[in-house]
């Protein structure tokens, strides 16, 4: 069985976040969703779990949830099929309550292209494309 990656994000509003991720192209998996958490599927190997703060807190013991509007907690990178797909993903995020910015990696766009995309809670995804 191939490895699957499940990214868990704490979110302030599970339904708002699910709608945001659906706009980005994720599909909600109702079988693994409830009032506390929503499973958002990109493909067979990459899922994002959106957990309300109370539910997320159960997994982190005595730690506090990072305020991802002001503090970075993680950068989740994944590949897309083209630089244009990366741009479309970022523009869709911005049009639906998220934001994005570009980091100059010192490489030409025809070699590698990526953007830093934030969801409405400040969680960061890094869609990227590389010429292989």
pTM of the model: 0.90
Local structure of residue 105 (DSSP, 8 states): -
In a domain, 67, yes or no: no
- Rounded Cα–Cα distance for residues 129 and 65 (Å): 30
Looking from the CA of 66 toward its CB, the CA atoms found within 13 Å total 12
DSSP 47-61: EEEEEEHHHHHTTST
pLDDT of residue 83: 96
In a shared domain, residues 56 and 97: no
By three-state DSSP, how is residue 27 classified? strand
In a shared domain, residues 95 and 46: no
Give me the average pLDDT of each 10-residue run along the chain (132 residues).
90 97 98 97 97 96 93 92 97 98 90 96 96 86
pLDDT of residue 112: 95
- Rounded Cα–Cα distance for residues 100 and 124 (Å): 9
Domain boundary, last residue among 18, 34, 62: 62
**CATH code at position 95:** 3.10.180.10
pLDDT of residue 29: 98
By three-state DSSP, how is residue 29 classified? strand
């Amino acid at each position: 069985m191939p490895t699957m990656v499940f990214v868990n994000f704490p979110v302030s509003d599970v339904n708002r976040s699910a709608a945001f991720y659906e706009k980005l192209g994720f599909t909600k998996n109702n079988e693994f969703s409830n009032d506390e958490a929503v499973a958002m599927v990109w493909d067979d190997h990459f899922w994002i779990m959106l957990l309300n703060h109370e539910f997320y807190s159960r997994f982190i013991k005595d730690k506090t949830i990072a305020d991802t509007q002001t503090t970075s907690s993680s950068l989740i990178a994944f590949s897309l099929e083209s630089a244009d797909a990366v741009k479309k993903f970022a523009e869709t995020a911005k049009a639906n309550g998220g934001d994005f910015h570009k980091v100059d990696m010192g490489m030409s766009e025809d070699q590698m292209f990526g953007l830093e995309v934030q969801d409405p809670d400040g969680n960061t995804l890094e869609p990227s494309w590389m010429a292989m």
